[in-house]
């Protein structure tokens, strides 16, 4: 796997190196049946989806929306967007993962949503709720020296719960999420 994540609007197949554009939409209630601990997911996404103060979003590959690559639970707060849970699909974790870049894509979406809400791109994440691998991937994404990820570099990212992450500068106008539109309610 590459040292720095370059993926803002795509995921990379680990074996072939091919990149695939992604889409982020709200998770539908009928999709929750297959997202269980028994099927390899770490968190209780049914409980998360029932929380009226949060929205659960799924990351899929463009033109292949049936396979969920990762999930994130977000809430819009007065001065930031909170990431309550973030998780890569079971097949996108560990040494045998299929795609790299899932948590970075989800963090980029949360940052864009924060900009859309007038919060200067500030996001928080509760480190105790995410897997160590996803936390490392998000930090690598936010701290990358790659020009594509520099807008998301944080002044300080720690493992303390509810750490505010501030982007170094505004999202580029041509960023894939600059025109992000949320799907209709579930």
The full set of domain ranges for the chain reads: 10-165
User: Could you count the other beta carbons within 10 Å of the beta carbon of residue 3?
Assistant: 8
Q: Which CATH architecture has domain 10-165?
A: 3-Layer(aba) Sandwich (3.40)
**Per residue in 153-170, pLDDT tens?**
333 333 344 445 555 555
Q: Read out DSSP for 9-49?
A: SEEEETTT--EEEEEEEEPPGGGGGG-STTTT-SS-HHHHH
Q: What is the pLDDT of residue 138?
A: 64
In a 3-state reduction of DSSP, which class is residue 106? helix
For the entire predicted model, the pTM comes to 0.70
Higher pLDDT, residue 104 or 139: 104
């Amino acid at each position: 796997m590459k040292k720095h994540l370059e993926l803002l609007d795509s995921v990379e197949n680990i074996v072939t190196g091919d990149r695939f554009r992604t889409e982020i939409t709200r998770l539908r209630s009928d999709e929750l049946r297959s997202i269980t601990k028994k099927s390899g997911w770490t968190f209780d996404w049914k409980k998360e989806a029932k929380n009226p103060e949060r929205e659960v979003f799924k990351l899929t590959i463009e033109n292949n929306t049936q396979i969920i690559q990762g999930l994130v639970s977000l809430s819009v707060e007065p001065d930031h967007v909170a990431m309550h849970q973030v998780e890569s699909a079971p097949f996108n974790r560990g040494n045998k993962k299929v795609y790299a870049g899932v948590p970075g894509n989800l963090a980029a979406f949360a940052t864009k949503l924060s900009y859309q809400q007038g919060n200067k791109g500030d996001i928080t994440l509760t480190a105790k709720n995410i897997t160590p691998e996803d936390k490392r991937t998000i930090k690598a994404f936010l701290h990358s020296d790659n020009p594509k990820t520099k807008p998301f570099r944080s002044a300080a990212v720690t493992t303390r719960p509810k750490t505010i992450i501030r982007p170094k500068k505004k999202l580029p106008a041509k960023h894939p999420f600059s025109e992000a539109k949320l799907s209709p309610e579930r």
